[in-house]
Structure 1
């Protein structure tokens, strides 16, 4: 594991990016997009998991414009509250440009190989934007928030997108879920998976929100998706 620095495309500075390398040759790159809790231990474990599967994994610090290097624990009430506060200050358009910069860096790092994007919660929404606004080769969003409000961008999706939707998500209600299905089920590049009875955060690597069975199923689908579309 290491940390690299990536220059922002808007010349606002540079941000750090956690990198996990596979033991042998790389199959491609996977960019891991954080929840509202920063590049914390759970996100780093996601990177290690993808590296164990043969990918070079990158986790950019998307909060660098607000509070660089912050790591929060969602099981601690005060830290959960701080994460939600940071989300309210977050410039998602600037973050998409930072993701684009990370895609460029990752593609160069793997010698022009393919690049996948996977995100969780806030990162799930950003993974959707990676599919609509960047040239990522494939994108996956877990319990993405607010997709129902940006379905007008779906027409720009050119590469495969997978979304994991827990039906009991207390941040994404039934109406929002129905809108996602209505807007995306017929898209030839998009696949949606529902997880009956599961709540937001069910696939986190650590903490109280994790559901082992649900996480294993979603992650197996993600693995197969990236194997097909990234390498």
Structure 2
């Protein structure tokens, strides 16, 4: 269900909430690609809700365009919105979702995809969370300016031209505590609504993520 949450600067944004199935184990914030709060991401939320987590997906484009959902074949539009976003304000919006889940009890983790994967790294550096997970997180160099405060797991494709090997090597050198797994896949290999989807890689990455969250979140 879509609800409204409020960031520390007073900005109100929409946030999709997926209730935990069965006994609640904690909270998970899912951070979007450059396409907004898509039906595909809501499906991911349902996957983790089935494991017992309450899930929130904040609408990180709401500061620019309310309820913006970009079709997958219009990536340049989503990229432009991502580039126009303010990192500090975006992190404040993520924090609002973290706090909304924390208010219901338990620890909170963050999972991000693409743009959201990089933002998950920033969340693990700045916010009060127990764990962060990046699926093919992009724009990594801009986050290599402070240490991790939470456990962090990264999933990357060996054929991902958005995250070349030298960029990932730089991130691993700066953040040696980051746990990294590589997959024989390209960018967006876990998005089952796009041609880039690689089922075997996605299944293994999600299984590793579930194990990681069970250890650090609940």
The two structures have a TM-score, normalised by structure 2, of 0.96
Deviation at 1:160, TM superposition (A): 0.6
Q: Please give the alpha-carbon distance, in whole angstroms, between the structure 2 residues aligned to 1:15 and 1:209.
A: 30
How far apart, CA to CA, are the structure 1 residues paired with 2:209 and 2:63? Answer: 30
Aligned counterparts, 1:98-109, within 5 A? 98-108=93-103
Counterpart selection for 1:135 from 125, 128, 137: 128
User: How many angstroms does 1:88 deviate by?
Assistant: 1.6
Q: If the length of structure 1 is used for normalisation, what is the TM-score?
A: 0.91
Q: Is 1:214–2:201 an aligned residue pair?
A: yes
Query: In the comparison of the two structures, how many residue pairs are matched?
Result: 218
Correspondence 1:46-195 to 2 at 5 A:
46-74=44-72, 76=73, 79-108=74-103, 110=104, 112-153=105-146, 155=147, 157-184=148-175, 186-187=176-177, 190-195=178-183
Distance 2:188 2:194 in 1: 9
Note the alpha carbon deviations across 1:172-221, whole angstroms, 9 max, x for none: 1122122122222x32xx2111113x111001132211100100011111
TM-superposed deviation, 1:72? 1.9
Inter-partner Cα distance in structure 2 for 1:100 and 1:81: 27
Mark the runs of 5 or more structure 1 residues left unpaired by the alignment.
none
Q: Is the 8 A contact 1:46 1:205 kept in 2?
A: no
Gaps (5+ residues) in structure 2? none
**Once superposed, which parts of structure 1, at least 4 consecutive aligned residues long, lie more than 6 Å away?**
none
Deviations 1:132-186 (A, max 9, x none): 0101111101111121342221x2x1221111121211111122122122222x3
